[in-house]
Copies of this chain bind each other. A is one copy, B any other.
Amino acid sequence: MTHYDSELSQLKESLLTMASHAETAVTRAMRALVERDDALARTVDADDNLLDHFEIQIDDCAIHLLAKAPLATDLRLITVAMKISQNLERVGDEAVTIARRAIELNAEPQLKPYVDLPRMAAKSLEMLRDALSAFVQREPERARAVVPRDSEVDDLNRQLHRELASFMVERPANITRCLKLMVISKSLERIADHATNIAEEVVYLYEAKDIRHAEQKHNEAENPGG
């Protein structure tokens, strides 16, 4: 392994570490909601600057590597790494949104047991993990398999949006809480979108075929949740 290759490996390592922080943030935000734990929700907010710093550090490292990339294929790998880090940073932002809504919801009686939201979270995080492994292990097939799963999360969001909307109509007293749950559902759906973006970049990187904007996007925009 050349010195340059070992620097590239370090870039991948940093991304994996960043991804695990992003996952922790989402997991904690969801636990804060389900277990009604405000203290845990506040750690998500406090830890968010960690992800911000990762993004900046990965950018700097990427620029440094671009300056001396020996192969044209390295250039694309490095720019994909930058895009992945931007997506992970936004996953962190969604975790903060979830955590803040959780604190507000915890101050009121619980509307109903949370079943669908944890399922959406589990699916989205699994997509994120698979997309990242596909990047690091050079497995375009694995990345390709992530893309269609986005519509499962879209469907769950759409369904929950509908349920919450009729819940509002039946009992206007529930409106504020339903709106907050809709925001959380939409945040989880966006996490799946970020995982899908990463997966599409990985497919493109290793197969040099652009699948971005082919199938997933229109489902996304059809979503009544926005």
Whether the pair B172, A225 counts as a contact (CB closer than 8 A) is no
A136 at interface by CB-CB < 8 Å: no
A61 at interface by CB-CB < 8 Å: no
Quick one: copies of this chain in the complex?
2
* Residues of chain A from 135 to 178 with CB closer than 8 A to chain B in the complex: 165, 168-169, 172, 175-176
Q: Separation in Å of the A85 CB from the closest CB of chain B?
A: 11
Whether the pair A225, B183 counts as a contact (CB closer than 8 A) is yes
Q: Separation in Å of the A158 CB from the closest CB of chain B?
A: 13
Binds B, one of A62-70, A106-114, A116-124: A62-70
Chain A residues engaging chain B, CB cutoff 8 angstroms: 45, 48-49, 52, 55-56, 59, 62-63, 66-67, 69, 72, 75-76, 79, 82-83, 86, 93, 96-97, 100, 165, 168-169, 172, 175-176, 179-180, 182-183, 186-187, 210, 212-213, 217, 220-222, 224-226
Could you list some 16 contacts between A and B, CB below 8 A? A52-B212, A55-B213, A63-B72, A63-B76, A66-B75, A66-B79, A67-B72, A100-B222, A165-B175, A165-B179, A168-B175, A169-B175, A175-B175, A180-B224, A183-B224, A186-B226
